[in-house]
A and B are shown apart, each in its own frame.
Chain A
């Protein structure tokens, strides 16, 4: 990727290290490029910020363009939400892990679903063989969802659900569980990931073609705008784009452009921007390159505020604010010397905090091998608590503002993103670009470049291509038993004999009927959930109307 040149960079390498010996030992990364390929100078000065105006480019925390954070006092008045992504086995297994995490001081929940659920398949579907309950919790029915949240007050705990393809169906299940707990919908607080564009770009979990998926997303945005003012109906995600191998600049550019695509779809569907934009949320990766990551978060807020203002002229300032969740980079974790992953995660978490995130997940050290053990998850949560309570970094808002380097890097991230915006505009928007394989190819090229740098030792990864050890000390890993699949099959078999098949059929027919209209599908999905139609049955009904999708393979 070509990064456009900003103001001339003055290189001062001669001024440091010349006689300090620091450049000789230990061996450094030879490239001196950021992970996005931005050349990094040895020193930055006022010359690197010539056109930079703190009033215009920074503003104050809580004010446009929100570079310094979306709240005036940030972590001084309220820490970020510590939200560990969790889910495995049956709903009961995950319910127990949730309660454990809440007891350990976690402040929000985040549900990981298993692969069949993510793909809209019931646990007893032939395609689900071998995958039930493995990389998340298996949820096929309302009963499963009720077990998942048993004893957890949904009006007090905010819940994030990482689900995309069948997001509307899973959300309908959640809403019915809340109703059955006696909680009015307007008191629910949480997030539905519900971001299909990054699925086509990176994570590859879709059910339908892009058009119908965009309609379902617009339906959930409209439903939340009308009934759940505290809910985030979408979490526009760069995390997976980064995990697929993108640079920080690509993550920033594609994610924000996806965001603008969703806003445009909702506006086209007739929703005034201020009725839904304050509920949008974002999700970013926090990777190894410490300063570049901080710059990315700051640039994201500024770009979003300026783009939203220029394109949609909202009256509510909250429509301009980019709220986000962050997760440390799973793809940065290494199987070799796994304890090193704790240190990587700590640095990545610190950069997300210095970047001003609203919530954070820290990965566990054992995740290159399996789902995390309770011990590993606890250590990951403690990492956040130590940053929050011991390091002192929460006492001051946006403490790195005004640093020549950070502000320069923030500008460069912004320029890199705008460069991509222009290319995507020229292609006629993100859906066309995806169909042409453009973001997919850019990410693949970046991922190959990065891997090449590691293979050639231009980039040192400790314990992997330098400081290696011949013998691996094994660490304990979490085991998921095969019995989860058996349990789930049995449960579904029993459910199918207990429910009223006539009601199920009527509800599924209603879904198909209204899928062909432009009515909001959420109420009909909730109706089917109440009739105990399963996830798979509802998704099959929708596929009957919407069709399926095969990706253009980019290699």
Chain B
């Protein structure tokens, strides 16, 4: 194929108050190295900030990192805001410290994938690159 496709654009963000950014930075770097355009939000983002940035930056997916247990509030809130803004075509995925039960619930309400500690970077890259454009 000779036509150039526009690269995938993904927002990678830390929502909530926790500052554990080791995993999120590794994921951001791995995606960037794999040719994905990564917008990294930095720390302490609210669901509103994440959704607004995602829409402004015209991303195809949002990856959220959470280590404080607040995912049960923050993730549904992000999904709700995307729906309100007619932007629920943006895929939401995430990772961090998330009990299995919660992970199932979040996937039921629309989160595409959740990656637990120990996931290889290549698996996450493969997932993102496999998303529909």
Residue in contact with B100 in the complex, picked from A118, A134, A369, CB distance below 8 Å: A369
**Residue A396, interface by CB 8 Å:** no
**Residue B19, interface by CB 8 Å:** yes
Interface residues of B in 22-64 (CB under 8 A from A): 22, 25-26, 28-29, 40, 42-43, 46
Inter-chain CA distance A336–B97, complex, in Å, is: 13
**Residue B16, interface by CB 8 Å:** yes
Q: With both chains docked as a complex, state the minimum distance between the C-beta of A460 and any C-beta of chain B, in angstroms.
A: 13
Interface residues on B, range: 20 to 34
Interface residues on A, range: 35 or more
Inside 8 A of A551's CB, which chain B residues have their CB?
Answer: 42-43
**Residue A486, interface by CB 8 Å:** no
Inter-chain CA distance A204–B65, complex, in Å, is: 14
**Residue A211, interface by CB 8 Å:** no
Inter-chain CA distance A549–B75, complex, in Å, is: 26
Q: A368-B97, A474-B100 are in contact. Are A115 and B28 (CB under 8 A)?
A: no
Residue in contact with A130 in the complex, picked from B25, B42, B74, B120, CB distance below 8 Å: B74
Inter-chain CA distance A474–B116, complex, in Å, is: 13
Inter-chain CA distance A162–B128, complex, in Å, is: 37
Q: Is the CB of B26 within 8 A of A448?
A: yes
**Residue B98, interface by CB 8 Å:** yes
Q: Is the CB of A448 within 8 A of B100?
A: no
Q: Is the CB of A130 within 8 A of B118?
A: no
Inter-chain CA distance A309–B89, complex, in Å, is: 63
Q: With both chains docked as a complex, state the minimum distance between the C-beta of B9 and any C-beta of chain A, in angstroms.
A: 16
**Residue A458, interface by CB 8 Å:** no
Inside 8 A of A451's CB, which chain B residues have their CB?
Answer: 26, 121
Most chain-A Cβ atoms within 10 A of its Cβ — which of B74, B101, B118, B122? Answer: B118
Residue in contact with A204 in the complex, picked from B19, B74, B117, B122, CB distance below 8 Å: B19
**Residue A455, interface by CB 8 Å:** yes
Q: Is the CB of A335 within 8 A of B116?
A: yes
Inside 8 A of A81's CB, which chain B residues have their CB?
Answer: none
Inside 8 A of B68's CB, which chain A residues have their CB?
Answer: 114-115, 131, 134-135
Q: With both chains docked as a complex, state the minimum distance between the C-beta of B65 and any C-beta of chain A, in angstroms.
A: 12
Inside 8 A of B118's CB, which chain A residues have their CB?
Answer: 334-336, 368, 461, 463-464
Inside 8 A of A245's CB, which chain B residues have their CB?
Answer: 22, 26
A117-135: CB near B (< 8 Å → 1, else 0) gives: 0110100000111110011
**Residue B99, interface by CB 8 Å:** yes
Inside 8 A of B131's CB, which chain A residues have their CB?
Answer: none
Most chain-B Cβ atoms within 10 A of its Cβ — which of A333, A336, A455, A555? Answer: A555
Q: Is the CB of B69 within 8 A of A127?
A: no
Inside 8 A of A477's CB, which chain B residues have their CB?
Answer: 99-101
Closest-by-CB residue of A relative to B42 is: A553
Q: A131-B16, A205-B19, A553-B40 are in contact. Are A480 and B69 (CB under 8 A)?
A: yes
Residue in contact with A369 in the complex, picked from B16, B25, B99, CB distance below 8 Å: B99
Inside 8 A of A519's CB, which chain B residues have their CB?
Answer: none
Inside 8 A of A480's CB, which chain B residues have their CB?
Answer: 69
Inter-chain CA distance A455–B74, complex, in Å, is: 30
Most chain-A Cβ atoms within 10 A of its Cβ — which of B17, B26, B43? Answer: B17
Inter-chain CA distance A480–B116, complex, in Å, is: 20
Q: With both chains docked as a complex, state the minimum distance between the C-beta of A19 and any C-beta of chain B, in angstroms.
A: 36
Q: Is the CB of B97 within 8 A of A244?
A: no
Closest-by-CB residue of B relative to A335 is: B116
Q: Is the CB of A331 within 8 A of B116?
A: no
Inside 8 A of B17's CB, which chain A residues have their CB?
Answer: 115-116, 118-119, 121, 127-128, 131, 205
**Residue B88, interface by CB 8 Å:** no
Q: A115-B68, A477-B101 are in contact. Are A203 and B28 (CB under 8 A)?
A: no
Q: Is the CB of B117 within 8 A of A333?
A: yes
**Residue A371, interface by CB 8 Å:** yes
Inter-chain CA distance A128–B26, complex, in Å, is: 27
Q: Is the CB of B19 within 8 A of A130?
A: no
**Residue A243, interface by CB 8 Å:** yes
Q: Is the CB of B28 within 8 A of A555?
A: yes
**Residue B72, interface by CB 8 Å:** yes
**Residue A31, interface by CB 8 Å:** no
Q: A368-B116, A555-B29 are in contact. Are A130 and B97 (CB under 8 A)?
A: no
**Residue A541, interface by CB 8 Å:** no
**Residue A432, interface by CB 8 Å:** no
Q: Is the CB of B28 within 8 A of A131?
A: no
**Residue A400, interface by CB 8 Å:** no
Q: Is the CB of A331 within 8 A of B73?
A: no
A50-64: CB near B (< 8 Å → 1, else 0) gives: 000000000000000
Inter-chain CA distance A245–B16, complex, in Å, is: 21
Interface residues of A in 361-395 (CB under 8 A from B): 367-371
Q: With both chains docked as a complex, state the minimum distance between the C-beta of B10 and any C-beta of chain A, in angstroms.
A: 14
Q: Is the CB of A370 within 8 A of B99?
A: yes
Inside 8 A of A205's CB, which chain B residues have their CB?
Answer: 17, 19
Inter-chain CA distance A477–B26, complex, in Å, is: 27
Inter-chain CA distance A203–B122, complex, in Å, is: 26
Q: Is the CB of B69 within 8 A of A204?
A: no
Q: Is the CB of A129 within 8 A of B73?
A: yes
Inside 8 A of A336's CB, which chain B residues have their CB?
Answer: 116, 118
**Residue B70, interface by CB 8 Å:** yes
**Residue A447, interface by CB 8 Å:** yes
Closest-by-CB residue of B relative to A444 is: B25
**Residue B80, interface by CB 8 Å:** no
Q: Is the CB of A135 within 8 A of B18?
A: yes
Q: With both chains docked as a complex, state the minimum distance between the C-beta of B64 and any C-beta of chain A, in angstroms.
A: 13
Inter-chain CA distance A370–B69, complex, in Å, is: 7
Closest-by-CB residue of A relative to B32 is: A555
Inter-chain CA distance A463–B116, complex, in Å, is: 13
Interface residues of A in 469-486 (CB under 8 A from B): 472, 474, 477, 479-480, 482
Q: With both chains docked as a complex, state the minimum distance between the C-beta of A484 and any C-beta of chain B, in angstroms.
A: 11
Q: Is the CB of B97 within 8 A of A115?
A: no
The 6 closest A-B pairs by CB, nearest first: A130-B73, A204-B19, A134-B69, A335-B116, A115-B17, A130-B70
25 contacts between A and B (CB under 8 A): A115-B17, A127-B17, A135-B69, A203-B20, A205-B17, A244-B20, A244-B21, A245-B26, A334-B117, A336-B116, A336-B118, A368-B116, A368-B118, A370-B69, A370-B97, A370-B99, A444-B25, A448-B29, A451-B26, A454-B120, A464-B118, A474-B100, A477-B99, A555-B25, A555-B40
